[in-house]
Amino acid sequence: MRMLARKHAAGIFDAAGTLVALQQAQPGTKLYPDGTHPSTLASVMLALALYRDVTGQVPVAKDLRVTAPLLPVNAAVSPDSAMESQPGLIGDGKATVIPLALVEPLVKALPEPKGPNDAPDSAGRRGR
């Protein structure tokens, strides 16, 4: 992946580093409550880091309004049915507000973005 990123002058999104930063900022946080899917808090942290990496701007902490359904751990969804036909995925049209008090510490915990030349390649060498 690093070789492809260098070849195309692209960056690599450091999702693992972002989640490590969350774990360090808020020890005891369950990142994957079902063992597979990131928690809502982890998902918001990843979204904040991705926003920052794509736009080049640190996100402004404020209430976050989510209109997509936030599924509970182990929600009963089926990969064999269209999303629109599954009540849990359709949602109820209501928004969930994640308050500033929960978003602000996440913004403060964002790790420094890594440039495309910061990560070692497969031989352990730093980029040029």
Q: Is the pLDDT of residue 117 over 80?
A: no
Quick one: pLDDT at residue 67?
Answer: 84
Q: Which two tokens stand for residue 8?
A: 């195309």
Local confidence band at 105 (pLDDT 50, 70, 90 cut-offs) = very high
Buried b / exposed e over 49-78, threshold 16 CB at 10 Å, is beebbeeeeebebeebebeebeeeeeeeee
Residue 119: pLDDT band (50, 70, 90) is very low
Q: Are β-strands 96-98 and 64-66 bridged in parallel, bridged antiparallel, or unpaired?
A: antiparallel
C-alpha–C-alpha distance, residues 90 and 81, integer Å: 12
Check residue 26 and give its pLDDT. 95
pLDDT tens track for 3-57: 998 899 888 899 999 999 999 999 999 999 888 888 889 999 999 999 999 999 9
What is the average pLDDT value for the chain, to the nearest integer? 82
Instruction: Kindly calculate the radius of gyration of the chain based on its CA atoms and give it in whole angstroms.
Output: 17
Using CA atoms of 89, 93, 97, 98 in order, give the dihedral in degrees to the nearest 10. Answer: 10
Sequence-ordered list of residues with C-beta below 8 angstroms from that of 52, at least 6 positions apart, any chain: 58, 59, 110, 113
